[in-house]
Amino acid sequence: MGSTGVRIAIDAMGGDHAPGEIVAGALRAREELGVKVLLVGDSQQIEAALPPKINLAQVEIVSAEEAIAMDEEPLSAVRRKPKASINVAMDLVKKQQADAVFSAGHSGAAMAAALLRLGRLPGIDRPAIGTVFPTILAGKPVLILDVGANVDCRPKFLEQFAVMGSAYSQCVLGTNEPKVGLLNIGEEDSKGNDAAVRAHQLLRENSQINFIGNAEGRDVLSGNFDVIVCDGFTGNVLLKFAEAVGGVILQILREELPQGLHGQIGTALLKPNLKRVKQRMDHAEHGGALLLGVAGVCFIGHGSSQAPSVFNAIRMAKEAVDNKVLQRIQSQYQILQSESG
């Protein structure tokens, strides 16, 4: 595949398997998607992680002398280390030398660096972290936001999340008129805490989005919603629970299925099918998380990201750039502001 011209700045130092797996995923994306990858980090470590047969002239390494560790306080670390790989990657977007950033490093640091280096989109009070869950309907994922950037959310933040999430669902996930839900503890309009009741009303009155009502916990994976908005506390608990539950159930399957002779034979016959089940449930297959509301396309991977997740996240980033998701959010948001103004 030829170059599409999309340039992705990769924080090669971020993540448990950096730089090896990060570089491997990035090179695969370059190969298969035709994107240009800018590997940001310690040049020596990145070069050592390159496969021996690679043509060095084709790989662009952008040197960054520092990195932010997972246990550092994000805002102060981002301020104290201007040459950290995540900062240098964000700067490439700011200087229009890259179109998007990917990092599997400290997600708080990525958020802080994006805010400090790129700033927020006009009209957005708080950026959110969005993530895509698989649903019971194959090929019909749901975007959940916020999953951790804002532990407390005012109702108007949730409204902004809904507008941004709708734009993303249209541009990147290809959804026509995304169905938006508000995560809540009942279907009725009056359910939930004060913030939820007021957010429900704002969403109901917003003509820019297709708000179909409250989504309960049981509705998240139903496929009935394309976008679900929530505060970052509830969203983060839900995300981490959802990530773990697949593993728990696979563990139970591993323990229970091979019991008895029939069980052993049956399980052996099912090996490839069980692998397909795992893939369909695997959150990483769906491309990690994204920052919505900052003035740049920023994808963040799980700290445990390996090459396939890195590849998937870069694929999503390319889609976001190709389909002009930032411009879409901004134009929708301007209409929203002029309507309410």
Residue type, 221: L
189 touches its own copies (CB under 8 A): no
**HSE of 24, CA atoms in CB hemisphere, 13 A:** 11
**Minimal distance, residue 3 CB to its own copies, in Å:** 37
**Among residues 78 and 144, whose Cβ is nearest to its own copies?**
144
Q: How far apart are CA 100 and CA 92, in angstroms?
A: 9
Out of 13, 68, 238, 321, the residue judged to bind its own copies by CB under 8 A: 238
281 touches its own copies (CB under 8 A): yes
338 touches its own copies (CB under 8 A): no
Would you give the distance in Å from CA 333 to the centre of its chain?
A: 21
75 touches its own copies (CB under 8 A): no
285 touches its own copies (CB under 8 A): no
Q: Which of 279, 276, 303, 306 is nearest to 20 (CA)?
A: 306
249 touches its own copies (CB under 8 A): yes
Residue with tokens 């396309």: 297
109 touches its own copies (CB under 8 A): no
**What is the layout of strands, in order, in the sheet containing 210-215?**
60-63, 36-41, 7-11, 100-103, 297-300, 289-292, 128-133, 142-145, 227-229, 179-183, 210-215
Out of 20, 82, 246, 308, the residue judged to bind its own copies by CB under 8 A: 246
Retrieve residue 265's tokens.
């034979």
48 touches its own copies (CB under 8 A): no
What is the radius of gyration, based on Cα positions, of the chain? Answer: 21
305 touches its own copies (CB under 8 A): no
Q: How far apart are CA 217 and CA 208, in angstroms?
A: 25
116 touches its own copies (CB under 8 A): no
As to burial, measured by CB atoms within 10 angstroms (0-12 exposed, 13-18 middle, 19+ buried), residue 187 is exposed
Determine the interface stretch with its own copies among 116-124, 172-180, 259-267, 329-337 (rule: CB under 8 A).
259-267
Out of 70, 75, 116, 257, the residue judged to bind its own copies by CB under 8 A: 257
Residue type, 260: G
69 touches its own copies (CB under 8 A): no
Residue 320 makes CB contacts below 8 A (sequence gap 6+) with 100, 168, 171, 172, 290, 297, 299, 326
**Minimal distance, residue 216 CB to its own copies, in Å:** 5
**Minimal distance, residue 73 CB to its own copies, in Å:** 9
**Minimal distance, residue 281 CB to its own copies, in Å:** 7
**Among residues 5 and 266, whose Cβ is nearest to its own copies?**
266
Q: How far apart are CA 286 and CA 110, in angstroms?
A: 20
**Minimal distance, residue 131 CB to its own copies, in Å:** 12
Number of residues binding to its own copies, judged by CB under 8 A = 59
Helix, strand, or coil (residue 6):
coil
Determine the interface stretch with its own copies among 21-29, 47-55, 192-200, 293-301 (rule: CB under 8 A).
192-200
Determine the interface stretch with its own copies among 8-16, 91-99, 122-130, 272-280 (rule: CB under 8 A).
272-280
Out of 267, 282, 285, 303, the residue judged to bind its own copies by CB under 8 A: 267
Q: Which of 131, 58, 77, 49 is nearest to 301 (CA)?
A: 131
**Minimal distance, residue 233 CB to its own copies, in Å:** 6
Beta bridge mates, 182: 214, 229
239 touches its own copies (CB under 8 A): yes
Which residues of this chain interact with its own copies, rule CB under 8 A?
135-136, 138, 148, 151-152, 183, 185, 192-194, 196, 216-222, 230, 232-234, 236-246, 248-249, 251-253, 255-257, 259-260, 262-263, 265-270, 272-274, 276-277, 280-281
